[in-house]
Amino acid sequence: QKEVEQDPGPLSVPEGAIVSLNCTYSNSAFQYFMWYRQYSRKGPELLMYTYSSGNKEDGRFTAQVDKSSKYISLFIRDSQPSDSATYLCAMSPTGAGSYQLTFGKGTKLSVIP
Amino acid sequence: DAGVTQSPTHLIKTRGQQVTLRCSPKSGHDTVSWYQQALGQGPQFIFQYYEEEERQRGNFPDRFSGHQFPNYSSELNVNALLLGDSALYLCASSGYGTNGYTFGSGTRLTVV
């Protein structure tokens, strides 16, 4: 079993839809959780960074962490064509600046105008 | 403010050759990590450098080595290239108090 599982999709939604992206993990040591967005031929860009269980909101993006279920989610409201990208979940046991990140495979999202 | 810069952008090498990839971290960052991203996969951690020393290493063979310079820039060296080394190599930097990593756009290595 991989440490981090993420459905690779692809996921296709109409513009304006609410998008739900998810990851599950098996390592209880993971305490810090991140979502990265990666456009084609680019490096990953940090979208959300969370530590505790619960919700964190930033504009149209909401990150949700449920440590008891080892499950994290990213919600995108009012999705736009510019949101079309691959979304990667990542996690680490300690503060991410000093430790390796373990990534999911990424979910490829297409938002259709 | 320049982010993480990597060079070259693309590279084609022959099996058995050696390659060196370069990375300059974001201004104010002192820690550099390298990741390998195969097509359709998430990035896999290779190693991390801090204070010019390898601080952590992922599950990669000794053919993968690195270096960090006093100005915090870093190199990734891969010897005896295999076809399976073809991937996007990402450099990420971080520093004290930063949340998450800042990634460069990567070097796409093709081994033929």
Q: Please classify residue B1 by burial: count the beta carbons closer than 10 Å to its beta carbon, then call 0-12 exposed, 13-18 middle and 19+ buried.
A: exposed
Instruction: Name chain A contacts of B4, Cβ cutoff 8 Å.
Output: 43
Contact B98, B2 (CB under 8 A): no
pLDDT digits (tens, 9 = 90+) for B70-110: 999 999 999 999 999 999 999 999 988 777 899 999 999 99
Contact A104 B33 (CB under 8 A): no
- The residue behind tokens 């960052």 is B29
Question: Which among A97, A102, A105 is the nearest to B94, CB-wise?
Answer: A97
Contacts of B26 (CB under 8 A, 6+ apart): B1, B2, B3, B4, B93, B95, B102
Selected for mutation to probe chain B from A36, A47, A100, A107 (highest B CB count within 10 Å) is A100
Contact A41, A2 (CB under 8 A): no
Interchain CB contact of A15 with B (< 8 Å)? no
Q: What is the pLDDT of residue A93?
A: 86
Q: Spell out where chain A has E strands.
A: 4-6, 11-14, 19-25, 32-38, 45-50, 54-58, 61-66, 71-76, 85-92, 102-103, 107-112
Q: What are phi and psi of B63, to 5 degrees?
A: -60, -20
Rounded to a whole number of angstroms, the distance from the CA of A101 to the nearest CA of chain B is 7
Contact B100 A34 (CB under 8 A): yes
Per-residue pLDDT of chain A (113 residues; tens, 9 = 90+): 779 999 888 999 999 999 999 999 999 889 999 999 999 989 999 999 998 788 999 999 999 999 999 999 999 999 999 999 999 999 998 765 567 899 999 999 999 99
